[in-house]
Amino acid sequence: MFKEFLDLGRQPIANAFLKEEDFDDEFFFDLKVCWDTDTNLVSIKNFVEPERIFNEDYPYHTSNSFPMVNHFKETAEMLQMKFKPKKVLEIGSNDGPFIKNFDKQNSICVEPCGNFAKITEDLGYDTYSTFWTTDLARDIIDQKGHMDLIYAANCICHIHDLDDAFNAVRELLSPSGVFVFEDPSLLRILERGSYDQIYDEHPHVFSVIALDNILRRNGLKIFSVDNLFVHGGSNRIYASHIDSGLVGDSVRQNINEEMIFGLDNFQTYEIFADRVKKSKDTLVRSLSNLRRNGKKIMCIGATAKSTTVFNYCGIGTDLIDVITDTTEAKQGMFSPGVHIPVVPRDSINLNDYDYAFLGAWNFKEVIADKEREFVQNGGEFITHVPQVMRFR
């Protein structure tokens, strides 16, 4: 049974940056969040059709966030050493920072966004430009055989039909193969109050408890879990066929930690919802006060997360003048829903602003390091994670 606990209001597509002439045709949906009492899975109530989100115009290039390029290189090297896979497939390969570390003859990409599929195809990797489904897995078995490593980063939580996605993995995975995937951790989101990880692209937010339930009913099991710092706290899940190998201590430890926090209890989600409402009130009050006192505020990082925050809190150009982002495809556009202009970092002088809100709070250290001069000149950062605060 699904129990609703959070209403994040009317939201646009989080990554649909747009031009002024498209404002009138913008798509919105009601972003409500539920907890499934049977599996413990947290999901959004109204799924948005994936074709509306993941298409030729999808702007999030992983390689534009340089810490992530290192992360995927290190991950690829670690998986090569640990499992020595002969055949590798990546689901949701984006612009290729992970797959680039594997040899072209034995590695395959699956990527529904045509702009990214073209990039990995041009790099020499066979790329299926379509969504991950059991039908696709069966085609791949016919054409390429079974895979030893199936990898996905920030992608499985994008898929509505998890049973079909996991069944597809089970069919394509060789008998001793490993399925490794990483996504934001529900526990860390609840601990840090980072409700902005919830948007159209993330129809599910995973706990280890929920994944263990859903993988098992699809013939797979988790044998290890790594806790990662990326994206504000993610879990890397290692899964295999249900009847192969042992289950490591990290699985029980993670499930225990989640149970102690109360992820199997609806009250935990109600408490979180209350914290989210308070975060909204505090953020709006704090930005409004600064503005009333004549302060200038901008935002660093036109993230999907900031779309959730700005639309939920009703923060537009009345409070934030401009957003800077390193991604070319977002520059010169307006942010979804609240229509704040997005510009390249070099096009503004940060010292003209008093405050910089961190849309990309997950890169807080990297940004603070890059923008030392802003702080030396009296500027301050604002974040809402883990609570609304200003810092230098």
Residues in contact with ligand DWN by the rule CB under 6 A? 60, 64-65, 154, 201, 231, 300-305, 324-327, 360, 362-363, 366-367, 370
> Which of 205, 304 has the CB closer to ligand DWN?
304
Mention every residue, 6+ apart, whose C-beta is less than 8 A from residue 390: 286, 355, 380, 381, 382
Shortest spacing between CB 215 and ligand DWN, in angstroms: 20
Structure tokens at 302: 């036109």
Q: 3-state class of 293 per DSSP?
A: coil
Determine the longest span between alpha carbons in the chain, in angstroms: 66
C-beta of 179: minimal distance to ligand DWN in Å? 18
Q: How far is the CB of 311 from ligand DWN (least distance, A)?
A: 14
**Spatial contact of 167 and 218, defined as CB atoms under 8 Å apart:** yes
Q: Judged by CB, which is closer to ligand DWN: 3, or 345?
A: 345
- CB of 64 vs ligand DWN, minimal distance in Å: 5
Q: Closer CB to ligand DWN, residue 167 or residue 303?
A: 303
Give 241 or 330: the residue with its C-beta nearer to ligand DWN. 330
State the nearest-atom distance from the C-beta of 66 to ligand DWN, in Å: 7
Nearest residue (CB) to ligand DWN, 240 versus 306: 306
Instruction: Quote the least distance from Cβ 356 to ligand DWN, whole Å.
Output: 11
By beta-carbon proximity to ligand DWN, the closer residue of 173 and 297 is: 297
Give the residue with the Cβ less far from ligand DWN, 264 or 371: 371
Q: Compute the least distance from the CB of residue 94 to ligand DWN, in Å.
A: 8
